[in-house]
Chains A and B, each alone.
Chain A
Amino acid sequence: MIPLDMLPIGQTAEIADVLGDLNDVKRLAEMGMRCGAVVQVVQQGSPCIVRVNGCSLCFRECAHLQVFVQPVATVA
């Protein structure tokens, strides 16, 4: 399990855990970033750009909101 911002470009992963303030976690879930959702990194860095369910989100991890992912496959 690795933090989302460490996922390489093109790598697909499943969101394993979202840690942080309950309301922030819920806000992320409403936007589609919830446990079990499949993400793919489009642009690395902080903030990074990820593709979730066909839409692009940019997301900056911070001390009180972190997304951990489990890489599942590598797309060339």
Chain B
Amino acid sequence: MSIQQQTEPIAVALIGNPNTGKSTLFNALSGVRQRTGNYPGVTVEKKHGTFRIDDKAIELIDLPGSYSLAPRSPDEMVAVDVLLGRLPAERKPQAVLVILDAGNLERNLYILSQVLELRLPTIVALNMIDAAAEKGVTVDVELLSQRLGVPVIPTRANQGEGVQDLRKALANIEHQAPPEYPSPFPPAFREEVAGLQGQLVSRNVSAPRYLVERLLLDTSGYLECELKLGGEDFHQLIEEARKRLKESGAPVPAVEAMSRYGWVRETLRGVVERKPVPPPLSDRIDRVMTHPIFGTIFFALLMMLVFTTVFSDYVAGVPMGWIEAGFEWLGELVGSNLAEGPFRSLLVDGVIAGVGGVLVFLPQICILFFFIAILEDCGYMARAAYLMDRLFSNIGLSGKSFIPLLSSFACAIPGVMATRVIENRRDRLVTMLIAPLMSCSARIPVYVVMIAAFVPPYSFAGGLINSHALTFAGMYLVGIVAAVIVAFVLKKTILRGATPPFVLELPSYKWPSMSTVGLRVAEKGWSFIRRAGTLIFASSVLVWAAAYYPHNEAIVAPELERLAAVETELEQATDEEKIAALEEELAALDHRISGALLRDSYLGRAGRWIEPVVRPLGWDWRIGCATLASFPAREVIIGTLGVIFDMGDEEEAESLPLREKLQAATWDDTDKPLFNLPVALSVMVFFALCAQCAATLAVIKRETNSWRWPIFTFVYMTTLAYVGAFAIYRIAAFLTETPIVSV
């Protein structure tokens, strides 16, 4: 044995049906020693966990939950490629751990029969034995192990039972021989596979027997296209083999289900005993939860609770305040310890303000994911998808689109990634393209500033409803309505296709595991922090540079001279009244200088260049400039507005001076107010509909493996935002009888 073999951990792949407690078992086995990532070029999340037992290190590779090892998409292909050691980015697993739901062995053994064909040392975790007992199901574990020829360890992952036994079994897996497994397929099928494999060998192509079987069984043509084995005429050979199989009574692909379920029936004979029991509690709960009226009312109340908590001043507001204060303190600390100049400006105005402006939303993201993780872990999310299917099928989607869209209210990035639960390619694409229309938390500061400054406060229903809350909710509604219309149009035009079949497993209700929820929230929170530390950091630096350079001080020479004079006067002044007046003048000069420099900066010049384009929306160059700056990430808008309106860029969303300054702003060289209700609505609608998030577009590119869809998303959303902002500006101006400014 080489030194490398001795030190490298034993790689074990985890596989099983969805809802078998696979994630809970993975977490129980590996604890916090986990890392996630993505396989290069494909969308599947890569999850690794490690643990040590008896001086041996075991590395667990968590594969996506699946009912079968029959690849029909890039995501499903990854599981097969990992198990066959065909991925350069991943070590070939030395063993497989298959997790089975003890209460539904018939279906769960289907995927096990596929795994056994791979001839890798295998261990079975027979999970949820307690839930099976409640269903009246008892399993003869010893007999099952004998029939399968592999160790079977009973577990209750949520209670930690059996986990240590499983660890011990995994520690000895190196010495375990691959299972003896006779193929369940009829002789005719095996002969055809052998024939095809022989053909490949004669063409100097090597492919494992399992892949050749799958090539024959995959009538969708996905694998043929993916593997490109055997040259042009190989397809013809596959077709001929299928024809012969059909004639011999083993039609493809039905022969697989027939053969495997035949093997399952034989394996389970005498292993599983079922006793009649009353309908499970889950069924009784479902009578309410999935009821068309009561279920929908419960769903609406639940969503209200989730959103109220996410946007509550008392729950999310408190930690948000701490983060804000922390970055303010850091900015002041760095600012006061560095000499004035580009480096200080870069650190304070670019890095600290930019990254801090994003991290402030971390509590909201964590709270939303806390709810999502609880709802998923207790089994409710599938019921929500069931309820939503009635609504979504009207626009050509299925209920499976609901979960990604809900995630998008926190941030579109995890939302786009969550579309992986949708198997239908067209549906997945439509959901991905409308996900950025859900109002994510980055839009909140824009809504808060505009509503507080320009929406008149009215109360209705005895103070229960007010115009500010209504406008806020209205902005969310704008995104939702636009998403429904876009989805409908896409499904009727470029992504035309029939509403796909909707089949979804509803897992039994259970108490959520707090460790699973905690790990999930930590994982999502950390990925958000990473994003803030990389993309937002980079875009903040770029925006700062565009707003700082060329920094031609010659254009503010008179102001700079006066500034120096006032500073000298201030040093010599003794009269308190004079000191106050000089300080006020100093501040005004500072603001005037930074404003003039900004107008002359590359960002300011770009703003003036785009002014004719934004004028129909009721905006001047400064609003256009701030909007332009926020295209990489909409979070930077507040800092940019602060700089532009001569305030310095440290203004926070709810700070009074920024609000007052915006209220006092006028069109250049006139006394006509720049902002009013129609302009504020126009800005908000633009932000509600526009694709101002480079990270989301990058994720769409990664998920679709094409530039076409992020470009399409950017173009359609920007057009929609422009048209929406123009329409709301004109309509609001007409209704409020506000004159449309043409300066």
Residues of A within 8 A of B (CB): 20, 22-34, 42-43, 45-47, 49, 51, 53-60, 62-65
Contact = CB atoms under 8 A, between A and B. Distances in A.
A68 to B, nearest CB: 15
A26 B217 CA distance: 10
Interface size, B (range): 35 or more
Given A22-B253, A26-B257, A62 B499 contact: yes
B256 A58 contact: no
Contact of A49 (B103, B390, B506): B506
Top 10 closest A-B pairs, CB basis?
A29-B257, A56-B506, A60-B502, A65-B501, A32-B107, A30-B67, A30-B68, A58-B386, A55-B104, A26-B253
B683 interface: no
B232 to A, nearest CB: 24
Nearest to B256: A26
A49 B501 contact: no
27 contacts: A20-B501, A22-B219, A22-B253, A23-B72, A24-B501, A26-B253, A26-B254, A26-B257, A28-B501, A29-B254, A30-B68, A30-B110, A31-B503, A42-B286, A43-B286, A43-B290, A49-B290, A53-B106, A54-B135, A56-B282, A56-B283, A56-B286, A56-B508, A57-B503, A58-B389, A58-B504, A58-B506
A63 B504 contact: no
A72 to B, nearest CB: 15
Contacts of A58: 290, 382, 386, 389, 502-504, 506
Interface of B: 67-68, 70, 72, 101, 103-104, 106-107, 110, 135, 137, 219-220, 253-254, 256-257, 261, 282-283, 286-287, 290-292, 382, 386, 389-390, 393, 398-399, 423, 498-508
Nearest to A33: B503
B132 to A, nearest CB: 8
B104 A42 contact: no
A55 B107 CA distance: 10
Which label, helix, strand, loop or mixed, suits the secondary structure of the B interface?
A: mixed
Contacts of B290: 43, 49, 58
A46 B498 CA distance: 16
Contacts of B505: 31, 55-57
A62 to B, nearest CB: 6
Main SS at interface, chain A: mixed
Given A23-B253, A33-B503, A63 B498 contact: yes
A32 B104 contact: yes
Contacts of B104: 32, 53-55
Contacts of B137: 54
A49 B382 CA distance: 12
B261 A34 contact: yes
Contacts of A51: 283
Contacts of B501: 20, 24, 28, 59-60, 62, 64-65
A64 B135 CA distance: 34
Given A20-B501, A32-B104, A60 B257 contact: no
Contact of A54 (B103, B254, B257, B399): B103
B503 A27 contact: yes
A43 B502 CA distance: 15
B503 A59 contact: yes
A59 B503 CA distance: 5
Contacts of A64: 498, 501
A60 B506 contact: no
Contacts of B507: 56
Contacts of B110: 30
Contacts of B423: 27
B734 to A, nearest CB: 44
Contacts of A54: 103-104, 135, 137
Given A22-B253, A54-B137, A58-B386, A28 B498 contact: no
Contacts of A23: 72, 219-220, 253
Contacts of B506: 49, 55-58
Given A55-B505, A62-B499, 10 more contacts: A22-B219, A22-B253, A26-B256, A31-B503, A32-B106, A47-B502, A56-B282, A58-B386, A60-B393, A62-B502
A36 B104 CA distance: 16
